[in-house]
Amino acid sequence: MQICQELSLTRMGCGTWAWGNRLLWGYDESMDDELQAVFNLCVNNGVTLFDTGDSYGTGKLNGRSESLLGRFSREYLGSGKENICIATKLAAYPWRWTRQSMVSACKSSAKRLGKNVDLVQMHWSTANYAPWQEGGLLDGLADLYEQGLVKGVGLSNYGPKRLKRVHQRFSERGIPIATLQVQYSLLSTYPVTELGLKDVCDQLGIKLIAYSPLALGLLTGKYSEKGPFPKGIRGLLFRQMLPGIRPLLASLREVAKSRNKTMSQVSINWCLCKGSIPIPGAKSVEQAKENIGALGWELNSGEIAELDQAAASTDKKMVQNIFQTR
């Protein structure tokens, strides 16, 4: 079964970035109609993979995002309904360390979604701080596939060394790894250019998913060095990053103008051209339309080379997820 389509909508609702977890901060029920419209628009346009996580909630880590996504999927009545694929990530919380804890967590996610999870993913590896914990969690992930509770399994924030070990572990049980999700964009090429993850994924038959393909909005062209800036830590990051990424933004702007596209669409299309599945977020119909505009065309080799060179020469890079392993 094909688990992934070309482009995914991720994280239903308002969000803030905090150590790899996206929470539905500021959510209230008045947003539901808009979010349902976003979901409907995406599925109508062939976007059928939706990524979430059991730690995405209202700040209480109660899986609110899964509940909303399940509801939107049930209430959608248009074409493509049968192709909707819901992926969730199970957090490696300290209190989860047995294989049964992962099975129970996935069953809870399924209950919130109102259906079985299609693609279940390990949200992050514990190798950087508690390597003893990971074995049980991985075994539980594999159990879910063997028990027929999910259609596919994937990983998130794994580097090539850890990925190969897990692949070997799963291969011994005859379980394929469908996807690997990492932070990847023109401002975060590290997983591919330095770790060589794309080559490893290709060798192992794993599809690479690119989260934060717009670098939290830095690649949209909507922010300038003079401000205004987003609130909180994101605003501080933008103040530090924007002066150092002028050449990259200039190249993006030039390519976007020549293509009659937006900088966001060029950034997302670049990820597609690199053989990854980008999962930009959308909390409004306008944002969803913009994301969808990245489909149906391709950057040429010259444009890709220009953007690659601009990205390589950029003074500033996005900070890597603290859970990313080697």
Distance CA(245)–CA(313), nearest Å, equals: 9
Distance CA(321)–CA(212), nearest Å, equals: 11
Distance CA(19)–CA(266), nearest Å, equals: 26
Residue 60: DSSP 8-state: S
Q: Three-class SS of residue 146?
A: helix
Distance CA(47)–CA(260), nearest Å, equals: 22
Residue 64, CB-side half-sphere exposure with 13 Å CA sphere: 18
Neighbours of 139 (CB within 10 A): 17
Q: Cβ distance 26 to 59 under 8 Å? A: no
Q: Cβ distance 75 to 36 under 8 Å? A: yes
Bridge partner residues of 53 (DSSP): 89
Is 93 an active-site residue? no
Query: How far apart, in Å, are the Cα atoms of 77 and each of 12, 65, 72?
Result: 19, 20, 10
Say which of 56, 145, 211, 223 is annotated catalytic. Answer: 56
* Angle formed at CA 156 by CA 155 and CA 161, multiple of 5 degrees: 75
Q: Which amino acid is located at 310 in the chain?
A: A
| Tokens, residue 209 | 């998913």
Give residue for tokens 């029920």.
Answer: 29
DSSP letters of 231-255?
SHHHHHHHHHHGGGGHHHHHHHHHH
| Tokens, residue 66 | 């899964």
Alpha helices in the chain (DSSP H): 32-44, 64-75, 99-113, 131-146, 160-171, 190-193, 197-204, 232-241, 246-259, 263-273, 285-292, 301-312
Catalytic residues: 56
